[in-house]
Amino acid sequence: MGEVARFALTGRKRPRRRWTLAEKLAIVEAAKTSGDPVSVVARRHGMNANHLFNWLQRDRDGTLDRAALSVESGGPMDFIDLGVVGETTAPARPVAISGAGSVGIATTAPPLLFYVNGGGGGNQAWSSSSDARLKANVREITGALGMIDRLRGVRFDWRPPAAREIGKDLELPVSQPQFRFIAQEVEKVAPEAVSAPRAGPDGVYGVKEESLVPILVEAVKEQQAEIKELRAELAALRAQR
């Protein structure tokens, strides 16, 4: 992914910490061999868990020993403190900007151009570009009712970090039951609605659920056409009596 500039929004201004390469390697080795969750190892060393997850990713990529972003003094910096935003005792939550321009909230390794590791909200709908002048090869969705029949909505609970094989750094609401789809199942029906992982087998699949709305609209229209046809047949049968 390119070098990353990392920032943190925290309730208290903290001194900047410069980690030497030896310290990084020692902490990464502890995270890999101690058997403890990464968050525990991170707290043990007084650092943010997402910061440590980023080091682990860079260690797997073979880039941990590369010079970090130079700031002010020209020395290696892995963390830039933006200062105080309110009064809180909550741990720092990094804001990461990669060399490629990707932005991550509460993660130092954003997998997409903009990624929030946690919940988000607002008081207006998110608007996506949909101008006809931007589109080519426009065609009707056919067989939408059959596609919907193949999709499966599920109820589930998120696994806690210790029980996950991937995405251990994701801040998922493990105590809140969910209604959603399973990305790998959706991919078999509507691959356009699935975002494949960029980080190989350890990456996380995603579902662009708004991309399923056009399929739902066309499925309802197909169903309504069938209902109209059945009503017409029923009316004809009654007329023959």
Write out pLDDT tens, residues 189-223.
999 999 988 767 778 999 999 999 999 999 999 99
pLDDT of residue 17: 66
pLDDT of residue 142: 95
The helix (H) or strand (E) run that includes residue 189 is helix 183-189
Within 10 angstroms of residue 226's Cβ, the number of other Cβ atoms is 11
Query: Among candidates 39, 63, 1, 80, which has minimal Cα distance to 170?
Result: 39
Answer yes or no: are the C-beta atoms of 48 and 42 closer than 8 Å. yes
Query: Among candidates 48, 50, 52, which has minimal Cα distance to 30?
Result: 52
Domains defined for the chain, CATH in brackets: 4-116 (no CATH), 139-241 (1.10.10)
**Residue for token pair 């101008």:** 131
pLDDT of residue 163: 95
**Residue for token pair 């929030």:** 116
What are the pLDDT tens digits along the chain (241 aa)? 444 555 555 444 445 566 777 788 888 888 888 888 888 888 888 887 877 888 888 777 777 764 343 333 333 334 333 333 444 455 556 677 766 677 888 877 777 888 888 888 888 888 889 999 999 999 999 999 999 999 999 999 999 999 999 888 888 999 999 999 999 999 999 999 999 887 677 789 999 999 999 999 999 999 999 999 999 999 999 998 8
The structure's pTM equals: 0.60
Annotate 13-78 with three-state secondary structure: CCCCCCCCHHHHHHHHHHHHHCCCCHHHHHHHCCCCHHHHHHHHHHHHHCCCCCCCEEECCCEEEC
| Terminal C-alpha separation, the chain | 74
